[in-house]
A and B are shown apart, each in its own frame.
Chain A
Amino acid sequence: MRKIVKQSFLLISVLLLVALAACGKSTETSGKDSAKDGGQAKGLKAKIGVITYLSGPGAAYGEAITSGFKLAQKEINAKGDVNIELVIEDSAGKQEQALAAAQKLMSDDDIVALLGPTLSTEMNVVGPEADLNGIPIMGTSTTAVGIPQIGDYVFRNSIPESLAIPASIKKAVDKYGAKKVAILYGNDDVFTKSGFDTMKKEAEKMGLDVLTIETFQKGQSDYNAQLTKIKGLNPDLILCSALYNEGAVIMDQARKMGINVPFVGGNGFNSPQVIDIAGKASEGLIVATPWFAEKDDPKVKDFVQKFEKEYGKKPDQFAAQAYDALYIYAEALKNAGEADRDAFRDALAEIKDLDGVLGKFSFDKEGDVVMDPTVLIIKDGKFQLFE
């Protein structure tokens, strides 16, 4: 008995030793490999970790995002300047799982940088951890306030509401010469509330006369009281921070009442569903969006065509943002010249005026987006470019 125990102990220790040796060896060789490849200029090899929402109720986001990454990866690797390998982990839309996935990826020394996670709430826990470990991380779909401000290593390429809303207000005010506005917003939702804060700040900054601020709650069906009040004040423009479900009904009731001024909405209002629900009443809704699939730009057309061929459907905002994100990373990697986290971070922060399917892209000094969002208006039953 004792002998057997002793022998198995020995066996286990030997196995452990072998495993340990193998580990050491493998890191060593891969390190050598990348150095060698870099020297041969066959393309700088780099591993990039992806954390995204692949299972659960929001799995469609993760699917769109990974589709965007994979299409970009294929194109970038075919060009040959850099050679990117993606290591994809599922966050299931949960903070703790996102953090676990991020820690797993960070502990792999070959991984130069991270992309994701999908949700802003996930980024709020993953971001500080990545910053602490000194690994660059970029959100492609995180729009909440304060994400890039988490730390020097945290970036994003998704346009925050605080950038999109002012752009659409400004364009609408310029076009219609609006001076008096009314604001209407859902006061029981964090997203519409923060949209409202941005609208109010922007309206005050532009010197607009805010006639009234009205609120509503999620799932409300009667907006007549608020709208009658707004109608009596006769605004030139209505700023409405609503999700499309409530927003579409608001527009319908407003038009029925005889309010014909344009509406400016936030990103939550930006959905083709508005046209389905409100029909003709949705005409005159102005929203800013980072992504417009019908844009008359060869780059956009090319991307839409390739994406449709590969996945059999039109790319949405999330796929487009992911696609551009990997191109930004590839550019930074090329400029860094080596697969090193710190060198990569510095090169990433330097990115300026990079042409992508979303438009010209730069980072500000905090790592947030500098970009002109596309402003759209609903006209003749569809979203069109608002000029």
Chain B
Amino acid sequence: MFLEQLINGITLGSIYAIVALGFTLVFGVLGIINMAHGEIFMFGAFIGVIVTSTLGLPLWVAFAAAILVTVILGYLLERFALRPLRGKQGVSHLAPLISTIGVSILLENLSHHLFGAGNHPFSNAFAEIRFQIGSITIYAVQILIFVISIVLMMALSYWLSKTKAGKALRATAENLETASILGVNTKRIITLTVIIASAMGGIAGILVGMAFNSVNPQMGLSMGLKGLAIIILGGMGNVKGAMAGGLILGLSETLVVAYGDSGYRDAIAFIIIIIILLLRPQGLFGQKTAGAGRP
């Protein structure tokens, strides 16, 4: 029973972590809270449903299609909702936040229209693979989710700290003007960041669809809000923080249900976040000085 709940918590936490990774990337570089991230995640899940259930194609095609679609959505988001607002005189620093909220509403309504309001099942042979250890059932999807979240975290850390593009990204995060003077193509870096974050949202969408067998147009909102809480818990713009924060939230939510009262699930999970933030206001892995490059 405890082990099963632990597996549930880690699965949920890993999903939160993947969603939060996308959030934290955009926040770290652009200083923008991308409220449309949850909806891009939801679109990824729907593409997965269409490719596997409706068209009957294999799972890797679903991943490829979801990444493709979310990359396009990410590009459009950056091109039309964020870029026109950047560097303009007199634009409030809240304007990008509002415009991403607008995009999120647009995407949610669009998916209502395209896919319908109800839950869609994600039927896939891979989602049925399981192992029985005693009375505990472990699904291959649960292991896959955990592995993907770890791999994504490590790849992102490596990419950010070791590669040239990653360094350019961090330079842009540090200071946009200076990086641009030093020869970094900041426009391209920013677009790249939003695209990578969106693709990660798409991957997370498919994983959630497989794990919980439920895809609906509203799923983006709650995931988005949790992702937001996690990046604040983990430390703004910090990759390891997003991972740790996701696992903490996922595990505490699950354990509250297992050993407490499910009615207080979210309340207790968020009280834990508040307590951690009171003790470490910069978040678990955040630096004392804001490293997000905002003045």
Contact = CB atoms under 8 A, between A and B. Distances in A.
Interface stretch (A76-84, A96-104, A215-223): A215-223
B137 A257 contact: yes
Interface stretch (A14-22, A244-252, A319-327): A244-252
B208 interface: yes
Given A232-B1, A279-B123, A225 B254 contact: yes
A229 interface: yes
A226 interface: yes
Interface in A56-84: none
Contacts of A277: 118-121
Contacts of B123: 279
A219 B222 contact: yes
Nearest to B250: A222
B222 A245 contact: no
Interface residues of B, number: 35
21 contacts: A214-B257, A219-B219, A220-B222, A221-B215, A221-B219, A222-B212, A224-B11, A224-B212, A225-B262, A226-B262, A228-B5, A229-B1, A229-B257, A229-B262, A231-B4, A249-B212, A252-B214, A253-B212, A256-B139, A273-B118, A277-B119
Nearest to A223: B212
B258 A278 contact: no
Contacts of B11: 224
Contact of B8 (A218, A228, A246): A228
Contacts of A258: 137
Interface in B253-275: 253-254, 257-258, 261-263, 265-266
Closest 7 CB pairs of A and B: A225-B257, A249-B214, A224-B8, A219-B218, A232-B1, A225-B254, A221-B212
A273 B4 CA distance: 30
Main secondary structure of the interface of B (DSSP, over half): helix
Contacts of B118: 245, 273, 277
Interface magnitude class on chain A? 20 to 34
A187 interface: yes
B209 to A, nearest CB: 9
B216 A225 contact: no
Interface in A207-243: 214-226, 228-229, 231-232
B262 A215 contact: yes
B212 A225 contact: no
B1 to A, nearest CB: 4
Given A218-B218, A229-B262, A249-B212, 6 more contacts: A215-B265, A219-B222, A225-B262, A232-B4, A249-B214, A256-B139
Given A220-B222, A249-B213, A257-B137, A225 B119 contact: no
B9 interface: yes
Interface in B3-62: 4-5, 8-9, 11-12
Contacts of A249: 119, 212-214
Nearest to B212: A221
Contacts of A221: 208, 212, 214-216, 219
Given A219-B218, A225-B8, A228-B258, A245 B137 contact: no
